[in-house]
Amino acid sequence: MGSRIIGTGRAVPPVSFSNQDLERQLDTSDEWIRSRTGISSRYLMRTGESLLDIATEASRHALDKAGIKAGELDAIIAGTVSSEYAFPSFACQVQRTLGVTSIPAFDVAAACSGFVFALSVADNSMRAGVWKKVLVIGADALSTMVDWGDRRTAVLFGDGAGAAVMVSEPGPRGVLETLLRSAGEAWDLLSLRATGVRASADSEWRRDVADTLKMRGPELFKIAVKSMADITRQVVERAGFTLADVRVVIPHQANIRILNAVADRLGLPYDKVFVNLERYGNTSAASVPIALDEALEAGRFGDNDLVLLNACGGGLTWGASLLRW
């Protein structure tokens, strides 16, 4: 028994902020942001908006496309580090907004790798026969946690949510192989001391600077390239394929220079890598499921194609999953 994604969905806050918008409040430039990251705009939560609403909308889209009612789900797993509450989990909050009772709902905290980690938890449980229908969510709002005076981090992140409905199936389609890794010794390369407090780009008050997102970007850059390339090669080999067999790579969207460097290391043509970060920025755990949903909608892959998901983020964490669509 294995598991297969049968519906995906995405949602973002209503307002997109361009690099020019950020130029007005930070010592930065459209030229720097585009050339160093590939980002042109990002959707940012404004004061009073709720990531829970956004994740619920993405989940409803995924359920609709799957043709499954929320009440049929056996579990909800959310990859997120952005819950407004230390507890209950974000997944429990989504459970309530979806109106589902009596099923397990919990979060997986793996920062930008959150969706890939959550997908693996769902897949393994379904392989073990524990659940038959699972909603997996990736949702984050890191823009509400950055220091809006720090141009090194504030320009990078966007907010949003993506979701996938998975069902257990005997194969041959579905999740073929997943590999996950963490390097706790390097946790201080990307961290956030406290959660729960929102300080959106438009809010008047600010988080205490000590409680904002901290990132050692250049060091993280090198590790992200090596780890995403290595885990991608390993997961494909373990599944008994070569990279040439893969139709499309759907990576975590942190920086176009990271994506190109990973492709160079793997000898992958750039057009095999799906990129949408120019419009979303780095949406952390939401980036892979948002990109998956968009790539599917754009016809970048179809039934029986091999699709590779990979991600790297705070923890450090990284992982990759090979799917036969």
Residue 111 per-residue DSSP state: G
Q: With 0-12 CB in 10 A as exposed, 13-18 as middle and 19+ as buried, what is 31?
A: exposed
What is the closest distance, in whole angstroms, from the C-beta atom of residue 258 to ligand UT7 in the complex? 6
CA distance 162 to 160: 7
282 is catalytic: yes
Residue 240: CA count within 13 A, CB half-sphere = 2
As given in the structure block, the two tokens for residue 145 are: 């946690």
Of the candidate residues 2, 16, 25, 28, the single one contacting ligand UT7 (CB under 6 A)? 28
Sketch the per residue contact string, 174 through 203, with ligand UT7: x for CB under 6 A, - otherwise. ----------------x-------------
- Residues 248-287 close enough to bind ligand UT7 by CB under 6 A: 254-255, 258, 282
Nearest distance in Å: CB 107, ligand UT7: 18
Three-class SS state of 106? strand
| 151 binds ligand UT7 per the rule CB under 6 A | yes
One of 106, 187, 221, 241 touching ligand UT7 (CB under 6 A) = 221
Classify the phi-psi angles of 30: left when phi > 0, otherwise alpha if psi is within -120 to 50, otherwise beta. alpha
Instruction: Name the 3-class secondary structure at 47.
Output: coil
From 44, 76, 112, 261, residue interacting with ligand UT7 (rule: CB under 6 A)? 112
Query: Which member of 54, 224, 288, 291 binds ligand UT7 (CB under 6 A)?
Result: 224
The smaller minimum CB distance to ligand UT7, of residues 76 and 263, is found at 263
Tell me the CA end-to-end span of the chain in Å, nearest whole number. Answer: 16
The answer to whether residue 252 is catalytic is yes
Half-sphere exposure of residue 75, counting CA atoms within 13 Å on the CB side? Answer: 22
60 binds ligand UT7 (CB under 6 A): no
In the complex, minimum distance from the CB of residue 287 to ligand UT7, in angstroms, rounded to a whole number: 8
Question: For residue 60, what are its two tokens?
Answer: 């409803």
312 is catalytic: no
Cβ atoms within 10 Å, residue 71: 12
Q: How many other CB atoms are there within 10 angstroms of residue 212's CB atom?
A: 21
For position 313 contacting ligand UT7 by CB under 6 A, the verdict is yes
Binding of residue 36 to ligand UT7 (CB under 6 A): yes
Site residues for ligand UT7 per CB under 6 A:
28-29, 32-33, 36-37, 112, 151-152, 155, 190, 217-218, 220-221, 224, 254-255, 258, 282, 312-313
Q: Which residues are catalytic?
A: 112, 252, 282
